[in-house]
């Protein structure tokens, strides 16, 4: 497949979660970012080709690639054992169909220090380039685990980490400010249309919700919910002790 844009190409080279066959660059492009990509490609023995912009435009699906492409294989995914270090902050994302929304969510989770994301096992390859681009490369660095059975794998994590599982679900919920996130945790967030499945909700310890400033009745989209909750995790882990 073809990966488009400097951020995405840089991420696939540095993260090393997939085989990169070659990097394709506009023959007239000479800037610091491009030089860095070329240097890293050479370090990793990846072929670099300089081509006219017209040829790159024909290979790309859009016009926003900025003259930087890469030909790559599908991504390698992680396993449960790859997320065992430190104090785990895991996230389960279920029912998010829009690849842009998923990419935005992964971008936020990576920046908030999430240690791994469980996704339903499906063929993500059609959406991979969009997810990578909308996540600004973050999806390539973030450990991703494809699960055939989310509730079973959540229980495996609970046993390994002795952690609490919180679901973004309004029924019988408290606000997300009311729980501690300094220990190992799993946050489960569903898409706006389908939400979380019953199987996942059955293994959750607590439901949490985001309080609004008015009487708005509709759910936030998944990436917005991810942002609010994951940065409360950051706040507590980094700053809560300062204010005690």
The C-alpha atoms of residue 207 and residue 172 are separated, in whole angstroms, by 7
On average, the pLDDT of the chain sits at 92
Which strands make up the sheet holding 20-26, listed edge to edge? 2-4, 68-72, 20-26, 47-51
Query: What angle do the packed helices 99-111 and 222-239 form, to 10 degrees?
Result: 0
Distances (CA, A) of 25 to 30, 63, 143: 10, 14, 28
Using the predicted structure, report yes or no on whether residue 192 has a pLDDT greater than 80: no
pLDDT (tens digit per residue) in 126-179: 888 899 999 999 999 999 999 999 999 999 999 888 899 999 998 899 999 999
Provide the CATH number for the domain formed by 80-243 in this structure. Answer: 3.40.1280.10
How sure is the predictor about 181, in pLDDT bands with cuts at 50, 70 and 90?
A: very high
Spell out a b/e string for 210-229, using b for 16 or more CB atoms within 10 Å of the CB, else e: beeeeeeeebbbbbbbbbeb
Spell out a b/e string for 69-82, using b for 16 or more CB atoms within 10 Å of the CB, else e: bbbbeebeebebee
How sure is the predictor about 227, in pLDDT bands with cuts at 50, 70 and 90?
A: very high
How sure is the predictor about 125, in pLDDT bands with cuts at 50, 70 and 90?
A: confident
CB contact at 8 A, 24 and 69: yes
Using the predicted structure, report yes or no on whether residue 225 has a pLDDT greater than 90: yes
Domain regions of the chain by residue span: 2-72, 80-243
CATH architecture for residues 2-72: 2-Layer Sandwich (3.30)
- Relative to beta strand 68-72, strand 2-4 is antiparallel
pLDDT at 102: 95
pLDDT at 85: 73
How sure is the predictor about 182, in pLDDT bands with cuts at 50, 70 and 90?
A: very high
pLDDT (tens digit per residue) in 74-102: 999 998 888 777 789 999 999 998 999 99
The C-alpha atoms of residue 167 and residue 92 are separated, in whole angstroms, by 9
pLDDT at 241: 57
pLDDT (tens digit per residue) in 51-70: 999 999 899 887 788 899 99
pLDDT (tens digit per residue) in 20-44: 999 999 999 988 999 999 999 999 9
The C-alpha atoms of residue 175 and residue 48 are separated, in whole angstroms, by 51
pLDDT (tens digit per residue) in 136-149: 999 999 999 999 99
């Amino acid at each position: 497949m073809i990966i488009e844009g400097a951020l995405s190409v840089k991420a696939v080279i540095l993260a090393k979660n997939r085989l990169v066959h070659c990097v394709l660059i506009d023959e007239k492009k000479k800037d610091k970012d491009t030089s860095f990509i070329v240097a890293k490609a050479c370090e990793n023995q990846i072929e670099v080709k300089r081509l006219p912009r017209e040829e790159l435009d024909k290979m790309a699906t859009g016009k926003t690639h900025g003259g930087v492409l890469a030909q790559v294989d599908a991504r390698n995914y992680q396993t449960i054992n790859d997320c065992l270090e430190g104090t785990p902050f895991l996230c389960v994302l279920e029912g998010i169909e829009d690849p842009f929304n998923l990419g935005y969510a992964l971008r936020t989770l990576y920046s908030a220090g999430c240690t791994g994301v469980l996704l339903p096992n499906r063929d993500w390859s059609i959406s991979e380039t969009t997810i990578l681009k909308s996540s600004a490369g973050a999806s390539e660095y973030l450990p991703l685990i494809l699960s055939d059975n989310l509730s079973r794998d959540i229980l495996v994590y609970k046993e390994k980490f002795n952690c609490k599982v919180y679901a973004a679900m309004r029924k019988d919920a408290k606000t997300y400010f009311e729980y501690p996130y300094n220990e190992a945790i799993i946050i489960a967030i569903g898409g706006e249309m389908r939400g979380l499945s019953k199987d996942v909700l059955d293994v959750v310890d607590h439901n949490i919700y985001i309080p609004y400033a008015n009487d708005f009745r509709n759910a936030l989209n998944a990436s917005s919910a991810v942002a609010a909750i994951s940065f409360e995790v950051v706040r507590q882990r980094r700053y809560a002790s300062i204010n005690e």
